[in-house]
Chain A
Amino acid sequence: DAKTTQPNSMESNEEEPVHLPCNHSTISGTDYIHWYRQLPSQGPEYVIHGLTSNVNNRMASLAIAEDRKSSTLILHRATLRDAAVYYCIRWGSQGNLIFGKGTKLSVKP
């Protein structure tokens, strides 16, 4: 199964860090972990991706467990503009980028 498991929803306060978890217990050694987010009325937007090591970019950080069965997307200081649905996706041997249900993040002022 190419799907990942994420909480349906999470809530955060503005200016605070947010940790979005994802389980991918059946991931293969060559599958990358991608994160996308979708703001209302927009297409999905690439956030970050990684294979084994933790990754940082201007938008977020990605922490990948040593056994690669789980990962966490970290938004260091949530803003109201970060309210979106966040999708964690395995992409590799199965060929296509298949979306799971995602986590709806709400940010309170």
Chain B
Amino acid sequence: DTEVTQTPKHLVMGMTNKKSLKCEQHMGHRAMYWYKQKAKKPPELMFVYSYEKLSINESVPSRFSPECPNSSLLNLHLHALQPEDSALYLCASSVYPGNYNLPLHFGNGTRLTVT
């Protein structure tokens, strides 16, 4: 079991739909991350939130919109996605931003299929 909870586990959406992915952690971590993982590829960083503020956007298309309403919750809002956006979306957290001496804690991801 992981201490980072992601919902839903699976999501199928059409290209005109709007949906949201949710990530929750109650470890008091102040850095949260979204990664995208295509099949048989390593995870790729999308966004980093530090103290609830967006600190890194790795040139992600605007059809992906992150939100951090509070220190425990991270959302990823999806709109007008393309079939090539189908992937496993992973959320992670760490104690403090920029503290490289502590690990990242990952959730088990949301498997997204865009039809």
Decide if B90 touches A99 in the complex (CB within 8 Å): no
Interface flags, B46-71, vs A, CB<8A=1, else 0: 00100000001000000000000000
Known pairs A100-B42, A101-B42; A46 contacts B104 (CB<8 A)? yes
CB distance from B42 to the nearest CB of A (A): 4
Chain A residue nearest in CB terms to B44: A99
The interface residues of chain A lying within 8 Å CB-to-CB of B101 are 32, 49, 51
Chain A residue nearest in CB terms to B43: A99
Residue A109 is within 8 A (CB to CB) of chain B in the complex:
no
Decide if B100 touches A44 in the complex (CB within 8 Å): no
CA distance A58 to B98 in the complex (A): 26
Decide if A49 touches B108 in the complex (CB within 8 Å): no
Decide if A32 touches B100 in the complex (CB within 8 Å): yes
Total A-B Cβ pairs within 8 A: 49
Interface flags, A93-108, vs B, CB<8A=1, else 0: 0011111111000000
Decide if A43 touches B42 in the complex (CB within 8 Å): no
Decide if B98 touches A95 in the complex (CB within 8 Å): yes
Chain A residue nearest in CB terms to B111: A41
Interface flags, A39-64, vs B, CB<8A=1, else 0: 00111111001010000000000000
Question: Which of A31, A44, A46 has the largest count of B CB atoms less than 10 A from its CB?
Answer: A44
CA distance A32 to B107 in the complex (A): 22
CB distance from B110 to the nearest CB of A (A): 10
CA distance A30 to B101 in the complex (A): 10
Decide if B98 touches A44 in the complex (CB within 8 Å): no
Known pairs A91-B100, A92-B100, A102-B42; A44 contacts B106 (CB<8 A)? yes
Residue A19 is within 8 A (CB to CB) of chain B in the complex:
no
CB distance from B11 to the nearest CB of A (A): 15
Q: List the interface of chain B (C-beta within 8 A of A).
A: 2, 4, 33, 42-45, 48, 56, 90, 92, 98, 100-101, 103-109
Q: What 5 pairs between A and B have smallest CB-CB spacing? A: A43-B106, A99-B42, A46-B103, A91-B100, A32-B100
